[in-house]
Chain A
Amino acid sequence: MTPTINETAEMLESDFAMFETWEEKYEYLMDLGRNLHWPANRQQSDSMLIRGCQSQVWIGHELNQGKIEFFAASEALIVKGLVAMLLKVYSGHTSADILAFQPDFIARIGLSQHLSPTRSNGLFSMLNAIKSTALAYQNA
């Protein structure tokens, strides 16, 4: 049984809670980034490029038995870590579950500084891309 969005977010939150210093948090975030891989059988296209980031970020998806599987790539390690974190939480769920979830865990992890719409790393834009993908399937 796959964990729910809420359960994954809570797990992630408790993972980050183990680290006391910002250095350890970022090392963990960058480790998440290092383990993010774009599927070999998938093309990256400009339509998957997220605007509003200082580094290039691609988010692609496929629908698998009513669930949306996301995949992502970026040039910057911290951005890869941020998007990997989002994918852990959101990937593999239905559009309804994705849209119902409030991502408060980001603030609780202590990464809310990255969430403002004007931040150049684009976490806000990435979150928007995931939600609008879900919205597209909900209305389909």
Chain B
Amino acid sequence: MSLKTANGLSAPARNDWQSIRSDFPLIAGQDLVYFDNAASSQKPKVMLQAMENMVSNSYANVHRGVHALSQQATDQYEAARKTVAQFINAADPAEVVFTAGTTDSINTIAFSFAEAHIQPGDEILISGMEHHANIVPWQLMAQRKSAHIKVIPVLDNGSLDLEAFDALIGPKTKLLSLVWVSNSLGTVNPIPYIIQKAHAYGVPVMVDAAQAAPHMPLNVQAIDCDFLAFSAHKLGGPTGLGVLYGRRALFENLPPYRGGGDMIDRVTFEKTTFQGLPFRFEAGTPHILGAVAFAAVLDYLSNIGMRQIEERERQLSQSLRCQLKADFPEIQLVGTAPDSVSVVSFLVKGHHPLDVGVLLDNQKIAVRTGHHCCQPLMDRFGIPGTVRASLAFYNTEDEIDRFLLALRKTIRLLK
């Protein structure tokens, strides 16, 4: 199999996972087992190299200067936008807006879409497995607009109640905002199917792809979503940078979220007219270095192949799941939906997740414990939180073995 790289050359997919691991300075050669990738992933050297390269050779502010350096920086920044557009298969790079992260992307739509389309009494549909970032912006919007939030319930195995979804969506529904992959359970929701259903009702769909983007190929045209958000730092990129994709027909008619430089067409004290896509939604100086470095990381990931990454991560997380199920009667898996990726969430029966996390930390295992910013979901299961192991392609079967050994010791210490 061959893949197109950014420079248009065909390259063989890399699948030498040991050498890929050595591309990540923090984990290469360390005895730390880093299973907290859902919180933030480690960074490949190419990210640093791209930043260093720009800082050393072509850094200036973008979109303003006539001088050569500013033009170079602008070219690189806009090339980064194009790389992102290709990565998610957007029809047009102008449909890609750089934000500060998934949270910022969702807040942008919660504000701008509501300004244009939400009337008192209207409904927004979300689900019971949303991250707080896909709950709270809508609550703020609903207060402002006297609108209502409806919630698709979650079944006992951690998948969505699709029958309830059918009953909840209706003429009052103005937008569906849904997580693709659950950050706390690992559940992969049937996004293409749900979007198709929503569109049959004329309801546009925003996809929270924060946990999907790192683990599978994205194709916004194939899934036919209207908006999609993700964060750079969860797929090897820098913090403080996110992506908001919007389908042009819907996106270009939304009012701006924030005012400032770069997003205006003409300003007078009486009236300001705004730029079109994507600049309307990029007020102020953007995260230029971040975007350029992120593009280099996306090229790096595309060179490995997102399909290969998905396969590898499904394999690793399935292996961990199976071994926990087979060898640890003391463990209760939280979220056993048929389709899941990367995240394995569990409890040691009768013990608080924090105790498990602290004892694992003492054995150089990094996992996340707590509610994972999903308090309503934890309430639904009647638990204070979970222990969450989240795997990335640079993790290994060896690390899974070490994790299981450390878990065995943890359980013994807790008894």
Contact = CB atoms under 8 A, between A and B. Distances in A.
A79 B355 CA distance: 8
Given A23-B413, A77-B414, A120 B370 contact: yes
A54 B413 contact: no
B354 A79 contact: yes
Contacts of A27: 413
A55 B352 contact: yes
Nearest to B361: A113
B385 interface: yes
Contacts of A22: 362
Contacts of B355: 30, 76-79
A78 B369 CA distance: 14
A5 to B, nearest CB: 26
Contact of A54 (B351, B354, B362, B409): B354
Contacts of A62: none
Given A26-B413, A54-B385, A76 B359 contact: no
Given A54-B369, A54-B385, A30 B358 contact: no
A74 to B, nearest CB: 8
A75 B352 contact: yes
Interface string B86-130: 000000000000000000000000000000000000000000000
B413 to A, nearest CB: 6
Contacts of B354: 54-55, 76, 78-79, 120-121
Nearest to B385: A54
Interface in A71-92: 75-79
A79 B357 CA distance: 12
B165 to A, nearest CB: 32
A76 B355 CA distance: 6
A27 B352 CA distance: 15
B359 A26 contact: yes
B46 to A, nearest CB: 30
Contacts of B409: 23
B384 interface: yes
A77 B362 contact: no
A55 B352 CA distance: 8
Interface in A17-56: 22-23, 26-27, 30, 54-56
Nearest to A27: B413
Given A54-B369, A77-B355, A30 B385 contact: no
A75 B384 contact: yes
11 contacts: A22-B362, A23-B362, A26-B358, A26-B359, A30-B355, A54-B385, A55-B384, A77-B352, A78-B359, A79-B354, A121-B354
Interface of A: 22-23, 26-27, 30, 54-56, 75-79, 120-121
Given A76-B352, A78-B355, 11 more contacts: A23-B362, A23-B413, A26-B362, A27-B413, A30-B355, A54-B385, A55-B354, A77-B352, A78-B358, A79-B352, A79-B354
